[in-house]
Amino acid sequence: MTETLPEGAEVLEAEWALLLECAKTRPDPIRMAERLSVPLRWPSLIALADDHSVLGLTAVRLANYGEKSVPPEQRDSLRARHRSYALFTMNLTAEMFRLFDSFAAVGIEALVIKGPVLSARCYGDPGLRQYGDLDLIVRDVDILRATELMICLGYEASVPLTAIRARKIPGEYVFRQSATKLLVEFHTERTFRYHPRPLPLEKLFQRQTRVIIDAHEIPALSPEDELVLICIHGAKHFWEQLSYIADVAAFVSEQKLDWGRVISAAGEVAAERMLYVGLRLAADVLVAALPENVLQTVRSDRSAAILARQVNRWLPAAGSAPPGIIERAIFRMRMRGGIFSGAVYLFRLSFSPTEEDWQEGAEHKRHWFLDALGRPFRLARKYGDRKP
């Protein structure tokens, strides 16, 4: 499958076709040979793979199916970048172990989402999936203690303790180590704004499982809950990176799923359509195999088909040609469901302030209502000048 880039973007059809093959869970050797037999702009391909966060996958697929077809200079560049990224993820994984030891010492319970756990589940390797931070779920009641602990561990908190005590809710609680450049993000039941309904956090903790990484048992979401979460995450970002779709395709291919529980988990947060769009993209773009009854359900959703076609139109650009503010709004509404529920969902997103809407220097003083009123104007400035 090839896609033409949006108007104004460079057309890289041959490179895009090869990238799609590399992103599949089980690439077809014959198709790989065909994709590698045509003239390719290798620097552009590597840049495109990086933009779509599938550089590691691309490096591994080429090593397995046709590394000799890659010009030596570009082969060395691809190997070096992949090696550098693998080292970074190893450091991040080691830090994850240290953090969980510290959490256990003070009685803070956390779950890992995406990152190394998702990489292990999808690709059998915690360092193969491209990610730049560690994402954790903690209870909202623990976020103040967690923030104080992270500061003691040498992290800088993006959300001040005064703002937390004032009950301000950011998009996520971000922590950075300036020396190592490591980035950790905490999420609570109150930060998952893009879930149509509140996250049933206690159920997630009850259904949690363990993923083995380097002989460590890491607490994670159940596979069914993780699949729903990565589909909502893809929807949040308009599925603008191929990696979002590759994760879903690999997840449904490699994990043993209880599909009744998947649908039930999506229903708990009213995210059925977000799930269907993710599954449809995985099946259509990357030929992921779904159970026949699940595939029939997904294909029967006409709105999901419309949304998937929209994604296919802007996907190759990797976010460089995003939808305009009107198209974004309509997409959000359709992704939620019906006209009324979609309008309510859009209204909530438009008036739910994050740290970007807080008045600098007065995060703990200004009332949330004033932040909410200013949010639509900020969004309009940010996205209003983009062509739909």
Read off the pLDDT of residues 176-193 as tens digits, 9 standing for 90 and up. Answer: 998 888 999 999 999 999
Q: Which one is predicted more confidently, 380 or 323?
A: 323
Element (H, E) at 164: helix 161-165
Q: What is the pLDDT of residue 251?
A: 98
Structure-token pair, residue 24: 């599949």
Counting every residue written for the chain, the total comes to 388
Q: What is the pLDDT of residue 259?
A: 98
Domain with CATH 3.30.460.40 in the chain: 90-221
The one-letter amino acid code at 278 reads: G
Q: pLDDT digit string (tens) for 120-160?
A: 999 999 888 888 899 999 999 999 999 999 999 999 999 99
Q: Which residue has the tokens 């550089």?
A: 55
Strand runs labelled E in the chain = 110-113, 134-138, 156-157, 173-176, 183-187, 209-213, 216-220
**pTM to 2 decimals?**
0.90
> Residue 16 in contact with residue 3, Cβ under 8 Å?
yes
Q: How far apart are the C-alpha atoms of 71 and 383, rounded to whole Å?
A: 40
Average pLDDT value for residue range 73-83 = 89
What angle (nearest 5°) sits at the alpha carbon of residue 320, between those of residues 319 and 322?
A: 60
Q: How far apart are the C-alpha atoms of 314 and 325, rounded to whole Å?
A: 14
Residue 368 to residues 133, 197, 355, Cα–Cα distance (Å): 28, 20, 11
Give the residue from 201, 203, 229 showing the smallest Cα distance to 140: 201
Average pLDDT value for residue range 74-92 = 89
Angle between helices 325-336 and 302-314 (to 10 degrees): 150
Residue 288: band (very low, low, confident or very high) from pLDDT cuts 50, 70, 90: very high
Q: What is the pLDDT of residue 362?
A: 52
Q: How far apart are the C-alpha atoms of 52 and 308, rounded to whole Å?
A: 17
Residue 49: band (very low, low, confident or very high) from pLDDT cuts 50, 70, 90: very high
DSSP 255: S
Residue 219: band (very low, low, confident or very high) from pLDDT cuts 50, 70, 90: very high
**What is the four-CA torsion angle of 247, 229, 169, 178, rounded to 10 degrees?**
-30
Q: Which residue has the tokens 């996958």?
A: 57
> What percent of the chain is predicted at pLDDT more than 70?
89
**Domain 90-221 belongs to what topology?**
Beta Polymerase; domain 2 (3.30.460)
Whether the per-residue pLDDT at 1 is higher than 50: the answer is no
**What is the four-CA torsion angle of 304, 310, 316, 319, rounded to 10 degrees?**
-100
Residue 387: band (very low, low, confident or very high) from pLDDT cuts 50, 70, 90: very low
Q: What is the pLDDT of residue 55?
A: 93
> What percent of the chain is predicted at pLDDT more than 90?
69
